[in-house]
Structure 1
Amino acid sequence: MRQIDNLTEEALLVENYKEIPWKRIIGLRNILSHEYAAIDPEAIFNTIKIGIPPLLATINSIIADIENGKHNSLF
């Protein structure tokens, strides 16, 4: 299942929506999950404040692209 997830991630997200730093998002998730004691709250706040608006815009584009059949070959 994880291999399918990785293939979809690469084919759908990384290749088609390059304006978002997907690898850094995954890295942040790993830090939040495993190194939470060392997290700088101000850095997380700034990441959210700056990073969420463009991410939401891209997610809306992804949803529209899926609804319009752009990624039918992946599913």
Structure 2
Amino acid sequence: MTDKPNNRELKVLDYLCLGNVEELAAMPHIGMGTIAPMIQKGWIEEAHDAYYGRHGYKITQKGSEVFEVFFRRLKR
């Protein structure tokens, strides 16, 4: 397992956990200072939603695993 996500990173993973593509504008209080390290860690990736014609980010398999492990601990 990689690094433990901080609160903002967990928020991003929560926004993206359904596998949809979300724009940065749809994630309040989240900026490139949070997004860029998450891309480097392999938790999220840039994506394009052809149906809605928007560019944003989506969760990766690695990001889903991190979310499952740490979000469940948070909910206990």
Between Structure 1 and Structure 2, the one with more strand by share is 2
TM-score range, shorter chain: under 0.3
1 or 2 for the larger relative contact order (CA 8 Å, sep ≥6)?
1
Between Structure 1 and Structure 2, the one with more helix by share is 1
Q: Greater Rg, structure 1 or structure 2?
A: 1
TM-score in terms of structure 2 length: 0.27
TM-score in terms of structure 1 length: 0.27
